[in-house]
Amino acid sequence: MAQQTVSQYEEIKKRVKDVKLYINGEFVDAESHETFENINPFKNEFINEVASGDHVDIHKAVMAAKEAFNIWGRMKQNERLEYIYKIGQLIEERIEDIALFESFDTGLPISQTRKQVARSAQNFRFYADMVKSHLSGEAYQVDDEFINYTIHKPVGVAGLITPWNAPFMLETWKIAPALATGNTVVLKPAEWSPLSANLLAEIIDQAGLPKGTFNVVHGFGETAGASLVAHPDVQLISFTGETKTGSEIMKNGADTLKRFSMELGGKSPFIVFEDADLDRALDAAVWGIFSFNGERCTANSRLYLHERIADEFIARLKERVDRIIVGDPMDPNTELGPLIHKTHYHNVKRYIEIAKDEGCEIYSGEIPAELTSGNYVAPTLLLNANNAMKVVQEEIFGPVMAVMTFKEEDEVLELANDVKYGLAAYVWTNDIKRGHRVSQAIESGMAWINSQNVRDLRTPFGGAKYSGIGREGGYYAFEFYTERQVIHVSIGDHRIPQFGKKA
């Protein structure tokens, strides 16, 4: 197996080309000709150069998107949706390839990126279907005097800013509803994961959308990202990333009165009551923190165990941690791969040191000796943690879970809500009333009862508190990506005041 994956690495490395910007239907260098280096997280080797866009390239892309809006925004719906279905189909045809590039670029295990890419194809089909079936207005009868009705219109140029943790999936999550509703797009992908965004540009190019409808400007957050946010011809910004970046973006977009969707960080609790199905809860807790290398916004990074089952549960957790397969991200058996970047690796390691200083007992799995050149952090439990600790309050965004115990329902609810974040929550109990009661009382945008993080595309996705503003998913995305206009129509002779007629 090792032999096979080593050759896979070399083979993909040969196939990776330098990445350009995609503006107005063409792959181009940055106007400045600046580039930045893309590094592979498995070997920490240089992979390729990426064109580094700045305000000049953003302006070009926004102007192209603005021009294209005249065509795309006015196109007959069925014709537009045919393009959206086509993009989904082209992604489907290249799942294996995209997944390999994604794993190569990010360190996410191939068995997991394959599923994400398949989901990405579904995002396009889903939003084409949703526009057909659910993008409809309302009518208000006002006696025999008026009929008022609402319509949805595309907003204009959508600026989409995405993170590196599930790049392809999160990009399509925004691009599909933005394009399907008739907006044109400028995407600014994360600088640490440019490869799959480039494949997406190739696919959308192949689908033949009118030039300028979709554009990609690679570059840094402070230059390309900030210019997109500040551009007066960009009407909306959909952002996924860290909470502090979200807050910075909102400040920078205030002058041009941007409409924002904010999908931000999380520190989600996983609560196991004494009556829960412990086998299933264990599977879900382990998957929820160690899948996607722990770089997952909805990860259950805080585990609360009822004291009666805590010892047994922790013993079984340790066994799992010992056995998690840490390996080459392109090996289908690998369960945990390397973190995206050396900088992020050091951040996560620093948190483990802080946990030690704060009094946690650290329990970690092993990293095979041959993997030392990658950004590997072993699956880690922070035992004997408590809510006063920094490592329980702050998002670590790696394969690290704080483990705590509780006695009473009220107590665990207070602990669950005692963080600034409010993205997801997981409640495990066989008491049906308690399951609903506790889930509803948790301050989070989403909660799962006796379930891992399974999501139906029709449901709203998003966070409460510092985890976000607004909801993506289902028809909730239409509130963000469309302008709802009301048309008031007089159908009778309602009274109109006659100023100036009295004298």
Whether the CB-CB separation of 393 and 267 falls below 8 Å is answered with yes
Smallest separation (angstroms) from ligand NAD to the CB of 445: 8
Q: Which is nearer to ligand NAD, 73 or 241 (CB)?
A: 241
- Residues 287, 452: contact at Cβ < 8 Å? yes
Which 229-258 positions form the footprint of ligand NAD (CB under 6 A)? Answer: 229, 240-242, 245, 248-249
Residue 422 has φ and ψ, to the nearest 5°, of -160, 55
Exposure string (b/e) for 130-158, b if CB count within 10 Å is 16 or more?
A: bbeeebeeeeeeeeeeeeeeeebebbbbb
**Minimum distance of ligand NAD from residue 107's CB (angstroms):** 14
CB 215 → ligand NAD: shortest distance, Å?
Answer: 15
The nearer residue to ligand NAD, 185 or 264, going by C-beta atoms, is 264
Among 397, 428, 448, 480, binds ligand NAD (CB under 6 A): 397
Q: Name the β-bridge partners of 23.
A: 26
d(CA 257, CA 154): 17
Question: According to CB under 6 A, which one of 5, 106, 162, 334 is a site residue for ligand NAD?
Answer: 162
The distance of closest approach from Cβ of residue 165 to ligand NAD in the complex, given in angstroms and rounded to an integer, is 5
Place of tokens 């805590």: 310
Ramachandran quadrant class, 180 (left: phi over 0; alpha: psi -120 to 50; beta: rest): alpha
Q: Is 360 annotated as catalytic?
A: no
By CB under 6 A, residue 222 contacts ligand NAD: yes
Contact 272, 428 (CB under 8 A): yes
Phi, psi of 423 (to 5 degrees): -90, -65
* Chosen residue from 107, 265, 422, 474 binding ligand NAD by CB under 6 A: 265
* Member of 69, 104, 127, 164 binding ligand NAD (CB under 6 A): 164
Of 379, 394, 161, the residue nearest 261 (C-alpha): 161
- In the bound state with ligand NAD, the residue whose beta carbon lies nearer, of 41 and 435, is 41
Which residue in 171, 191, 263, 472 is the catalytic one? 263
Q: Identity (one letter) of the amino acid at 239?
A: F
Helix (H) or strand (E) holding 321: helix 307-323
263 is an active site residue: yes
468 in contact with ligand NAD (CB under 6 A): yes
Which residue in the set 107, 109, 177, 266 belongs to the binding site for ligand NAD (CB under 6 A)? 266
Contacting range for ligand NAD; rule: CB under 6 A; set: 15-23, 156-164, 315-323, 325-333: 156-164
Which of 102, 191, 295, 297 does the annotation list as catalytic?
Answer: 297
Kindly tell me which residue out of 52, 165, 184, 196 binds ligand NAD, with binding defined by CB under 6 A.
Answer: 165
Q: Which residue, 129 or 248, has its beta carbon nearer to ligand NAD?
A: 248
Q: Determine the interface stretch with ligand NAD among 202-210, 221-229, 269-277, 347-355 (rule: CB under 6 A).
A: 221-229
- The answer for residues whose C-beta is within 8 angstroms of residue 123's C-beta and 6 or more apart is 88, 169, 172, 173, 176, 457
| Shortest Å, Cβ 136 to ligand NAD | 27
Closest CA to 461 of 123, 131, 128: 123
* Residue 379 is a binding residue for ligand NAD (CB under 6 A): no
CB of 434 to ligand NAD, least distance (A): 27
221 binds ligand NAD (CB under 6 A): yes
Q: What are phi and psi of 131, to 5 degrees?
A: -60, -40
Q: What minimum distance in Å lies between the beta carbon of 463 and ligand NAD?
A: 5
* In contact, 171 and 179? CB cutoff 8 Å: no
Shortest CA distance to 165 belongs to which of 232, 241, 224, 234?
241
For residue 235, which of 153, 154, 156 has the smallest C-alpha distance? 156
The contact pattern for ligand NAD, residues 173-212, with x = CB under 6 A and - = no contact, is: ---------------x-xx---------------------
- Distance, CA of 15 to CA of 13 (rounded, Å): 5
* 242-249 long-range contacts, CB within 8 A, separation 24+: 242/163, 242/395, 243/395, 243/420, 243/421, 243/466, 243/467, 245/221, 246/468, 249/161, 249/225
In whole angstroms, how close is the CB of 342 to ligand NAD at the nearest point?
14
Hunting for tokens 């009661």 — which residue is that?
Answer: 437
Q: Which is nearer to ligand NAD, 435 or 462 (CB)?
A: 462
**Contacts to ligand NAD from residues 281-300, by CB under 6 A:** 297
Shortest Å, Cβ 503 to ligand NAD: 59
Question: What number of chain residues touch ligand NAD (CB under 6 A)?
Answer: 32
Residue matched to tokens 């004494």: 274
When asked if residue 463 is in the footprint of ligand NAD (CB under 6 A), the reply is: yes
**Residues 413-452: x where in contact with ligand NAD by CB under 6 A, - otherwise, as a string:** ----------x-----------------------------
Instruction: Just list the catalytic residues.
Output: 263, 297
Instruction: Using CB under 6 A, list all residues that contact ligand NAD.
Output: 161-165, 170, 188, 190-191, 220-222, 225-226, 229, 240-242, 245, 248-249, 263-266, 297, 395, 397, 423, 463, 467-468
